[in-house]
C-alpha cells in the first residue's frame, strides 16, 4: 500500500504509565507551496500537500486579489520539478501552483514572503483596510442546522483522525448540506482550500456558511468577508478583532458552537427559521 502524500510514519518513543515503548506514529506532512500570480511569486505557503490549486485560487480570493471565477484565465498545478523544496535540490515536484488572471488587485504587499503555518493570514499590511468590504446577503440559516455542522466538519477530516495535526474548514448551504471540507496544517490554508473549491466550480458565496475548527481571529473573518460569505462559525472562540471585523463587514459571527449552544457575536438577524 502506498503512503498517503498528506502524512508520513515516524518512529517514536511512547510512554504509558511511565513505561517507554518504541512505536510507529503517523504525522501530517508540512511542505512549502509557491503561489504565482501572472508570473510573479506572491507567497510561499507552508501547507499540507493536496488541493493545491484550490489553495492558490482561494488565497487569491480571500486576500482580495480576485473577486470571482470569471477573472481567472488559467490555473495549473506544476509537477515538473518547479517550485521550492526543503531538500538541497532547487525544486520539488508539485510544489508550485500558478494562476493567470485579469483585473487583479494590488499584490505588492506580498513580495514572495513565507507564510508559516502558525502565523495567521497573509495580509501583511500594518493596518487592515476594510473600506469597500461589506457582505450584503439576505441568507437566513436555521439555528438547528448550525448544531449539525461541527459533526459534519469532523467527518470530513481523515488526516486529523490519523494524526491529530490539522485544522479543518467546511462550507455548507442554508439547508445544512456540507458542500466541501478541507484540512491543512495551517488553519488559514484550510479556509482558502474550501473557498477555492467553490470558486473554481463557479459557485455562489452569498448564501453559504463557513465552519472552522479553530478560533475566529481577524484574518479568518476577513477572508470570509472578502469572499462574500455571510456566516462564519466555529467550535472555538473569537478574538476581539475578529468580532470587530465581523461587525464592520456585516458577517454573522458564531462562536463556541458545541452541543446545543452557541454564541452570536455579530449579525444575529441571519439566524432564524429559514
Distance CA 105, CA 36 (A): 14
pTM over 0.85: yes
User: 158: closest CA among 176, 177, 181?
Assistant: 181
pLDDT class of 179 with cuts at 50, 70, 90 = very high
Do residues 58 and 195 make contact, with C-beta atoms less than 8 angstroms apart?
A: yes
Instruction: Classify domain 143-270 at the CATH topology level.
Output: Cytidine Deaminase; domain 2 (3.40.140)
Answer yes or no: 78 catalytic.
no
Percent of the chain with pLDDT over 70: 86
What pLDDT digit, counting tens, does each position of 24-35 carry?
999 999 999 999
User: 51: closest CA among 147, 223, 166, 218?
Assistant: 166
Measured at the CA of 234, the angle between CA 258 and CA 226, to 5 degrees, comes to: 160
Average pLDDT over every residue of 181-209 = 96
DSSP-H helix ranges across the chain: 52-62, 143-146, 149-155, 158-163, 187-200, 218-227, 240-249
Confidence at residue 107, expressed as pLDDT on a 0 to 100 scale = 79
Active site residue: 60, 68, 78, 119, which one? 119
Amino acid at each position: 500500500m502506498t503512503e498517503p502524500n498528506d502524512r508520513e510514519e515516524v518512529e517514536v518513543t511512547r510512554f504509558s504509565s511511565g513505561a517507554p515503548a518504541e512505536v510507529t506514529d503517523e504525522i501530517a506532512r508540512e511542505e512549502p507551496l509557491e503561489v504565482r500570480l501572472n508570473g510573479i511569486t506572491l507567497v510561499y505557503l507552508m501547507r499540507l500537500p493536496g488541493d493545491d490549486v484550490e489553495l492558490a485560487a482561494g488565497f487569491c480570493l480571500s486576500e482580495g486579489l480576485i473577486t470571482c471565477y470569471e477573472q481567472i484565465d488559467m490555473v495549473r498545478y506544476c509537477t515538473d520539478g518547479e517550485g521550492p523544496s526543503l531538500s538541497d535540490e532547487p525544486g520539488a515536484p508539485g510544489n508550485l501552483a500558478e494562476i493567470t488572471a485579469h483585473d487583479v488587485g494590488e499584490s505588492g504587499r506580498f513580495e514572495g514572503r513565507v507564510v508559516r503555518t502558525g502565523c495567521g493570514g497573509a495580509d501583511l499590511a500594518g493596518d487592515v483596510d476594510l473600506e469597500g468590504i461589506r457582505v450584503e446577503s439576505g441568507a437566513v440559516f436555521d439555528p438547528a442546522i448550525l448544531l449539525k455542522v461541527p459533526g459534519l466538519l469532523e467527518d470530513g477530516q481523515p488526516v486529523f483522525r490519523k494524526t491529530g495535526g490539522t485544522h479543518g474548514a467546511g462550507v455548507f448551504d442554508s439547508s445544512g448540506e456540507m458542500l466541501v471540507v478541507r484540512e491543512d496544517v495551517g488553519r488559514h490554508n484550510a479556509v482558502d482550500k474550501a473557498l477555492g473549491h467553490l470558486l473554481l466550480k463557479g459557485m455562489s458565496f452569498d448564501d453559504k456558511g463557513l465552519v472552522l475548527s479553530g478560533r475566529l481571529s481577524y484574518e479568518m473573518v476577513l477572508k470570509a468577508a472578502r469572499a462574500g460569505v455571510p456566516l462564519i462559525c466555529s467550535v472555538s472562540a473569537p478574538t476581539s478583532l475578529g468580532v470587530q471585523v465581523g461587525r464592520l463587514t456585516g458577517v454573522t459571527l458564531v462562536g463556541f458552537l458545541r452541543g446545543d449552544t452557541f454564541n452570536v457575536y455579530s449579525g444575529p438577524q441571519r439566524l432564524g427559521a429559514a
